[in-house]
A and B are shown apart, each in its own frame.
Chain A
Amino acid sequence: MSALTVAYALLFYFATAMLVGGVGYKCWVYARTPQPLKIPIPPAPTTRGGVVLRMLIEVTLFRALFRANKWIWLFGWLFHVALLAVLLRHLRYFTEPVWGWVALMQPLGLYAGFAMLVGLAGLWARRFLVDRVRYISSPSDHLMLALLVAIAASGLVMKYVAHTDIVALKAFFLGLARFDWQPLPADPALLVHLALVATLMIIFPLSKLLHAPGVFFSPTLNQMDDARERRHTAGWSAQIVHVNRARGG
């Protein structure tokens, strides 16, 4: 077993633990933190089903962003949808046998790799070209885009420039899952790609990538507009006692 294989095996165990544990911990913090008052933002649904629909539309179509700015929406939506397609395409490296629909969508996943780059380029260009967005961008915002661009680019390099031993790679990851380590091919593009992906997994719960789980907990989006119909209490508002008058509750 080469030192390289051991290093990458340990790296991916650590990255997976950070991603799952870190995001899980954050979700637990969000879930246990009370929201004492009703603060839904319009257009706020009045029913639970309406909230589910609203959330679905927000996270699949980015409706609020569409209303806000068509360019950010175009590049942002393109990037996210492409990322999803690319991730699904990668399932074939982690499943044996490969599921039928994953096999079918392989070509789509390839186009998506390029679409991802286009989306990222557009978003990054805005950070330089639009003075307002330039003002609010910190170094970490640029680095995050650089990281994603590098991941997409190194992935495409393996497909179109320097192929890696994909069978051996798959054996490596299936081996990781079974705690039966297999050697990792030592191709530079692959090593770069994997190191960057592990980095992304590690910083996920420590960075603004928390917007992904965060959006589901956002009270302005997930609360029903029913303040008069149902008395809402949580946290400090559940401790309220009417001191002057006991009458009437």
Chain B
Amino acid sequence: MAAFETPPLGEYPVIPLVREGAMAHSKPFVAKPDIQTGIGFPGELVPDWEKVAVTKLGQLVSQSRGLQVFLDSCVKCGACTDKCHYFLGTSDPKNMPVARQDLLRSVYRRYYTFAGKHFPKLVGARDMTKDVLDEWYSYFHQCSQCRRCAVFCPYGIDTAEVSMAAREIMDTVGVGQKYSNEIIGKLHKIGNNLGLPEPALRNTLDGLEEDVLEETGVEVKFPLDVKGAEVLLITPSADFFAEPHIDGLIGYAKVFHAAGISWTLSSHASEAANFSLFIGNHDNLQKVAERIRDAALDLGVKRIVVGECGHAWRVAYSFWNTLIGPFDFLDPRYPAPQHICELTYDLIQQGALTFDKSANDDKVVTFHDSCNVSRGSRMGDGPGGQFHIPREIIRACVNNFVDMAPETIGETTFCCGGGGGLLTDDLVELRVKGALPRMQALQQVVEEHGVNYMAAICAICKSQFTKVLPYYKHPMDMIGSVHGLVSKAIVLGPRN
């Protein structure tokens, strides 16, 4: 890993001039053959791979109206060129969404369009070569699939769909990314991204019960595999051990306790994350999600609630009904699935929870909207619920809350820089530089309002910020869970 400089924060955000090849060296580790074969892909570059790749591209396009329209419709207007955090942080023009799409579009044009077949130079069409493949590997692993560009595209062209297709093609010819694919393999084998087996999970949860009892004097339970519980909680496995994620898990448990809702975790489906989304492979996507359906049926629960995890909530909210529905075995009075924030918010609305806000008086809090929650899902009954519900929860728990600049939150929020399967140490330069726009917005509220705490509802965001905040001279524990704030402020009285 070459040394790199953390980009400086100016007084205001700047759109950089392009610097060609600035991030051409950035590449994640390639998956070893056993990792690849474990999730249904060839172990190494297959013979005649160019043809295999082109055929796969045609097949993907014929199976997705989105890809079909997106590859045909771009007019190169330039609306997206300054919208990607990786471009803003690296100045590499291939990190402009349109240029990233063109890495794949150029090949699509060459083999599947009249203009590209007969006038390749004129329309920028290219043969599928090893150089192109290498370029794909580098730059399609510099996209966190956060969809910010799609908000600004007049045709709604979604670079995430293009980048997922490119990764799927690369996996199909035997070139996969180690980080994501290893994790998907672990999930198939054990049930979570960490490879945490049932006894270790039970042990961790028992430890948490003791910790909370010691701290609060209240017997808050962390149940596992309890048949007949009302709620099955599906949460990212980072919540079981990582800081600050674990404070969130404690918060969920306290909410369930205070509301008197019986709940359970599952050792079979002990993971909300579904990294198959990142590699665009629907077989793995469905297989990973199916564990949750199985667990819900086995345990006979009435509701499924999802913990704080961005892409997991996108998969749950937008895709579960398609992948593992219909949910006719769950209680129809509740949305299926339901986000933990929706559950907590509803309880707050009903007056079922009591808070002592002063417990969080040491903090001035801001909220980082996670990309997949903001642009890939929703909460509550109407549009925008994914923005106001977490903020309402925070306001119920703290006295000091301020938002960052409007163009950097809500549906135009900036990605943390570590999403989409890029949260790995072999990409740390990209992660630090990609965090620049968020750090710029954070710096402003730090200076103007004394913000010292940024809450988020995504396991990836929390891990990413823990890593990159120190590069921008902020303490790593400045990032926290929304339900970590809930956990601090909630008053646990004796239960009737």
Contacts of B155 in A (CB 8 A): 211, 214-215, 218, 221
Check if A41 sits within 8 Å of B156, measured CB to CB: yes
Contacts of B66 in A (CB 8 A): 35, 39, 218-220
Give B22 Cβ to nearest chain A Cβ, in Å: 13
Stretch at the interface among A3-11, A82-90, A176-184, A202-210: A202-210
Among A30, A41, A225, A236, point to the contact of B282 (Cβ < 8 A).
Answer: A236
Contacts of B374 in A (CB 8 A): 42
Chain A residue, CB-CB nearest to B124 = A138
- Most chain A beta carbons < 10 A, residue from B64, B158, B323, B376: B64
Check if A30 sits within 8 Å of B68, measured CB to CB: yes
Check if B411 sits within 8 Å of A240, measured CB to CB: no
Interface residue? B319 (CB, 8 A): yes
Compute how far the CA of A65 lies from the CA of B79 in the bound complex, rounded to whole angstroms: 6
Contact with B along A51-62 (1 / 0, CB 8 A): 000000010001
With A39-B158, A211-B155, A215-B154: A231-B79 Cβ-Cβ less than 8 Å? no
Compute how far the CA of A133 lies from the CA of B99 in the bound complex, rounded to whole angstroms: 10
Interface residue? A131 (CB, 8 A): yes
- Most chain B beta carbons < 10 A, residue from A34, A230, A231: A231
Contacts of B73 in A (CB 8 A): 208, 210-211, 214-215, 218
Interface residue? A2 (CB, 8 A): no
Check if B319 sits within 8 Å of A227, measured CB to CB: yes
**B residues 330-386 with Cβ under 8 Å of A?**
335-337, 374-376, 378, 382-384
Chain B residue, CB-CB nearest to A45 = B383
Compute how far the CA of A130 lies from the CA of B17 in the bound complex, rounded to whole angstroms: 9
Contacts of B336 in A (CB 8 A): 228
Interface residue? B456 (CB, 8 A): no
Question: Which range contains the number of A residues in contact with the other chain?
Answer: 35 or more
Compute how far the CA of A176 lies from the CA of B183 in the bound complex, rounded to whole angstroms: 65
With A72-B77, A220-B156: A132-B321 Cβ-Cβ less than 8 Å? no
With A137-B76, A208-B74, A218-B157: A67-B319 Cβ-Cβ less than 8 Å? no
Compute how far the CA of A42 lies from the CA of B148 in the bound complex, rounded to whole angstroms: 10
Compute how far the CA of A36 lies from the CA of B161 in the bound complex, rounded to whole angstroms: 12
With A39-B318, A231-B322: A136-B64 Cβ-Cβ less than 8 Å? no
Compute how far the CA of A225 lies from the CA of B319 in the bound complex, rounded to whole angstroms: 12
Contacts of A69 in B (CB 8 A): 78-79, 82, 152
Interface residue? A44 (CB, 8 A): yes
Compute how far the CA of A42 lies from the CA of B317 in the bound complex, rounded to whole angstroms: 14
Contact with A along B297-330 (1 / 0, CB 8 A): 1000000000000000000011101111110110
- Most chain A beta carbons < 10 A, residue from B68, B82, B150, B335: B68
Compute how far the CA of A243 lies from the CA of B323 in the bound complex, rounded to whole angstroms: 12
Check if B153 sits within 8 Å of A228, measured CB to CB: no
Check if A231 sits within 8 Å of B321, measured CB to CB: yes
Interface residue? B473 (CB, 8 A): no
Interface residue? A98 (CB, 8 A): no
Contact with A along B392-414 (1 / 0, CB 8 A): 00000000000000000001100
Contact with A along B61-78 (1 / 0, CB 8 A): 011111011101111111
Stretch at the interface among B114-122, B202-210, B230-238, B485-493: B114-122
Interface residue? A126 (CB, 8 A): yes
Contact with A along B153-188 (1 / 0, CB 8 A): 111111001000000000000000000000000000
Check if A41 sits within 8 Å of B123, measured CB to CB: no
Check if B63 sits within 8 Å of A132, measured CB to CB: no
Check if A245 sits within 8 Å of B158, measured CB to CB: no
Compute how far the CA of A6 lies from the CA of B81 in the bound complex, rounded to whole angstroms: 47
With A30-B68, A35-B64, A247-B329: A72-B76 Cβ-Cβ less than 8 Å? no
Interface residue? B444 (CB, 8 A): no
With A132-B18, A218-B156: A228-B69 Cβ-Cβ less than 8 Å? no
Interface residue? B271 (CB, 8 A): no
Check if B328 sits within 8 Å of A248, measured CB to CB: yes
Check if A228 sits within 8 Å of B17, measured CB to CB: no
Interface residue? A76 (CB, 8 A): yes
Check if A135 sits within 8 Å of B96, measured CB to CB: yes
Chain B residue, CB-CB nearest to A139 = B122
Stretch at the interface among B34-42, B190-198, B286-294, B428-436: B286-294
Check if B78 sits within 8 Å of A136, measured CB to CB: yes
Contacts of A220 in B (CB 8 A): 66, 150, 156-158
Compute how far the CA of A217 lies from the CA of B382 in the bound complex, rounded to whole angstroms: 24
Compute how far the CA of A46 lies from the CA of B385 in the bound complex, rounded to whole angstroms: 12
Check if A64 sits within 8 Å of B383, measured CB to CB: no
Check if A136 sits within 8 Å of B76, measured CB to CB: yes
Check if A72 sits within 8 Å of B79, measured CB to CB: yes
Contacts of A207 in B (CB 8 A): 115, 123
Compute how far the CA of A32 lies from the CA of B442 in the bound complex, rounded to whole angstroms: 46
Compute how far the CA of A211 lies from the CA of B79 in the bound complex, rounded to whole angstroms: 15
Check if B317 sits within 8 Å of A211, measured CB to CB: no
Compute how far the CA of A150 lies from the CA of B218 in the bound complex, rounded to whole angstroms: 79
Among A136, A203, A211, point to the contact of B99 (Cβ < 8 A).
Answer: A136
Contacts of A210 in B (CB 8 A): 72-73
Give A72 Cβ to nearest chain B Cβ, in Å: 5
**A residues 114-170 with Cβ under 8 Å of B?**
123, 126, 130-133, 135-141, 143
Interface residue? B455 (CB, 8 A): no
Chain B residue, CB-CB nearest to A207 = B115
Q: List 5 A-B contacts (CB under 8 A).
A: A30-B65, A42-B151, A135-B96, A136-B81, A220-B157
Given contacts A26-B72, A69-B79, A72-B77, 8 further A-B contacts (CB under 8 A): A41-B150, A123-B77, A138-B76, A206-B113, A208-B74, A218-B157, A235-B63, A247-B329
Chain B positions near chain A (C-beta within 8 angstroms): 15, 17-18, 20, 62-66, 68-70, 72-83, 93, 96, 98-99, 102, 113-115, 119, 121-124, 147, 150-158, 161, 282, 286, 290, 293-294, 297, 317-319, 321-326, 328-329, 335-337, 374-376, 378, 382-384, 411-412
